[in-house]
Chains A and B, each alone.
Chain A
Amino acid sequence: MFPLCLSNVSVARRGKSVLGPVDLVIDQGGPTMVIGPNGSGKTTLLRVMHGIERISEGTAAWAKPDHANHAYVFQSPVVLRRTVAENLSYPLYLIKYAKPEINTAVEYWIERIGLGKVANRSATRLSGGERQKLAIARALIRDPKVLFLDEPCSNLDGQSTREIETLLLETAAAGTRIIMATHDMAQARRLAADVVFMKSGRIAETGLAPDVFDAPKTSELKAFFKGDILE
């Protein structure tokens, strides 16, 4: 299905441009970290790549489109008003997996994210970290080839953040292509193989993680790393 080619993509909301124009090619590899200040268009870019954002100009196309092989974890996790186990089974139930297969997968993932004890409790009563882990497991249960995550660790404590990062690194090692937005530079350094730096709705710089972190080319990225407020 790779590569994904964005060419000259723009997104406008209510007549105002919120993204673009951007050009980007996503091929195998990763994890890719999308970094940049708030409002720079990270979320919009991920949504465009996932195909759930209306593009006003340009094209975003996978070499072989296969939406069923994507998964997306939203910034504030969407939790179904069901039990933890039913949240996990939902994506498989949608594509009509057989009951025994669903149960096996649910049991595996529920143990993997450490929610075995609350399997039959309503997911709406989970803590923020547990919700996010549930959302990630629910995204991974269909074994996607591409996983998008939008700031999955914002507002989470260190323990949950570490668990999620471990899970993501294992997932990447198992061959899932991870593309993730984060505002946490330390996290970006820990996870990134390559980096997309966004500013004011544009891609200001891209590159391999060591290059980008150790020798940023653009003045914007230098200022961003220094901690300057970017407008």
Chain B
Amino acid sequence: MNDISQGLLAALRLIVTFDAELWEISLRSLQVSLTAVIIASAVAMPFGAFLAVQRFKYRRLIISIMNALMGLPPVVVGLIFYILLSRSGPFGVFGLLFTPWAMIIVQIVIITPIIASISHQAMRELWAEYHDLLISLNTSKWQRIKTLIWDGRRNLLTAGLAGFGRAIGEVGAIMIVGGNIEHATRVLTTAIALETGKGDFALALGLGFVLIGLALFVNISIHWLSRTERERRW
């Protein structure tokens, strides 16, 4: 009990004094996960809209695969990309293993199906609503996708935030491909794992608070978004 309360106090001190290490690790976490979310969204959101608008032969199969990929175990994704990115692997020449880019890549792989699936769901509902009008107005495929993305922007932001929440809290895959290297690839989750193992609860808890803060921020944002979605204020 004493350990924990001391740890809590020390953690709060680290946070309020903007401890350099804590700051650096938090910032890197944000950088990696935000980059992953932006890249994944750029692919997943138009793809979700496309799946909603376009009928084609293997559409159902692709949707099933997309939903199955959501359940991909991150550790296995990490392992596969470790092999792909290692010196002797097919992408070894790029020297990406143990860099932030390796972490970004595995996070993209993990969250793209999630963002695509949530986006597709939202776009499908909107398409059901808009279908008749957009057909009647003789819109092109691309105009339809643009309209759905714009009018469904709040739902899409929710999808992005869900992806971000998943990315920022992920530890298995980025541990493997990032290596948790100090001043290079150490992020919130991997640092917490390490500091807990070392018994430095102060730093571990401090990092934990930041992580919880970010997760809370994401959830409150999603909540707030779904409220404004109902009220349609923007």
Say how far B129's CB is from chain A's closest CB, in angstroms.
7
Q: Which of A50, A70, A72, A125 contacts B232 (CB 8 A)?
A: A125
Q: CB-nearest residue of chain B relative to A74?
A: B132
Asked if A112 is an interface residue, CB under 8 A from chain B, the answer is no
The contact of A68 among B126, B138, B147, by CB within 8 Å, is B138
Q: Which residues of B contact A82 (CB under 8 A)?
A: 151
CB within 8 Å for A94 and B137 given contacts A78-B129, A80-B151, A82-B151? yes
Pair B139/A94 contact, Cβ less than 8 Å: yes
B136 and A52: CB pair below 8 A? yes
In the complex the two chains form, is B232's CB within 8 Å of A78's CB?
no
* Set of chain B residues within 8 Å of A52, measured between Cβ atoms: 132, 135-136
Q: In the complex, which residues 65-97 of chain A have their Cβ closer than 8 Å to any Cβ of chain B?
A: 67-68, 70-72, 74, 78, 80-82, 90-91, 94
Please give 9 more A-B residue pairs, beta carbons under 8 A apart, in addition to A52-B132, A78-B132, A124-B232.
Answer: A68-B138, A72-B136, A78-B130, A80-B151, A81-B126, A82-B151, A90-B137, A94-B143, A122-B233
CB of B126, distance to nearest CB on chain A (Å): 8
Q: Select from chain B the residue with minimum beta-carbon distance to A80.
A: B151
Interface residues of B in 176-234 (CB under 8 A from A): 231-233
Instruction: Classify the interface of chain A: helix, strand, loop or mixed.
Output: mixed
Query: A126 to nearest B CB, angstroms?
Result: 11
What distance in Å separates the Cβ of B148 from its nearest Cβ neighbour in chain A? 10
Given A122-B232, A125-B232; A81-B136 close (CB under 8 Å): no
Give the dominant DSSP class at B's interface.
helix
Residues of chain A contacted by B129 (CB below 8 angstroms): 78
CB distance from A11 to the nearest CB of B (A): 16
Partner of A91, one of B130, B137, B233: B137
A146 to chain B, nearest CB (A): 12
> How far, in Å, is B156 (CB) from chain A's closest CB?
12
Q: How far is the CB of A151 from chain B (nearest CB, A)?
A: 14
Q: What residues make up the interface of A, taking CB atoms closer than 8 Å to B?
A: 50, 52, 67-68, 70-72, 74, 78, 80-82, 90-91, 94, 122, 124-125
Q: Contact check, A80 vs B130: say whether CB atoms are below 8 A apart.
A: yes
Q: Which residues in A have their C-beta under 8 angstroms from that of B139? A: 94
28 contacts between A and B (CB under 8 A): A50-B136, A52-B132, A52-B135, A52-B136, A70-B136, A71-B136, A72-B136, A74-B132, A74-B133, A74-B136, A78-B129, A78-B130, A78-B132, A80-B133, A80-B151, A81-B126, A81-B152, A81-B232, A82-B151, A90-B137, A94-B137, A94-B139, A94-B143, A122-B231, A122-B232, A122-B233, A124-B232, A125-B232
Q: How far is the CB of A83 from chain B (nearest CB, A)?
A: 9
Shortest Cβ distance from A121 into B: residue? B232
Residues of B within 8 A of A81 (CB): 126, 151-152, 232
Chain A residues with CB under 8 Å of B137's CB are 90-91, 94
Which residues from chain B contact A72 at a C-beta distance below 8 Å?
136
In the assembled complex, the CB of A150 is this many whole angstroms from the nearest CB of chain B, namely 10
* CB-based closest 5 A-B pairs: A78-B133, A122-B232, A72-B136, A81-B151, A52-B135
Q: A49 to chain B: closest CB distance in Å?
A: 12
Residue from B126, B132, B139 with most neighbouring chain A CB atoms (10 Å): B132
Roughly how many angstroms separate A71 CA and B132 CA in the complex, as a whole number? Answer: 12
Inter-chain CA distance A81–B128, complex, in Å, is 13
Chain B residues in 8 Å Cβ range of A125: 232
| Minimal Cβ-Cβ distance residue in B for A75 | B132
Nearest CB in chain B: distance from A122 CB, A: 4
Interface residues of B in 152-194 (CB under 8 A from A): 152
In the bound assembly, the distance between CA atoms of A94 and B142 in angstroms comes to: 11
**Closest chain B residue to A76 by CB distance?**
B132
Q: By CB atoms of chain A within 10 A, which of B136, B152, B231 has the most?
A: B136
Residues in B neighbouring A70, C-beta threshold 8 A: 136
The answer to whether A67 and B138 touch across the interface, beta carbons within 8 angstroms, is yes
In angstroms, Cα B133 to Cα A103, docked, is 22
CA distance A90 to B147 in the complex (A): 10
Residue of B nearest to A122 (CB): B232
Q: How far is the CA of A90 from the CA of B151 in the complex (A)?
A: 12
CA distance A71 to B133 in the complex (A): 10
Min CB–CB distance A166 → chain B (angstroms): 24
Q: Give CA–CA (A80, B233) in the complex, Å.
A: 14
Q: Tell me, rounded to whole Å, the shortest Cβ–Cβ distance linking A116 to chain B.
A: 20
Interchain CA distance A90-B136 in the complex, whole Å: 13
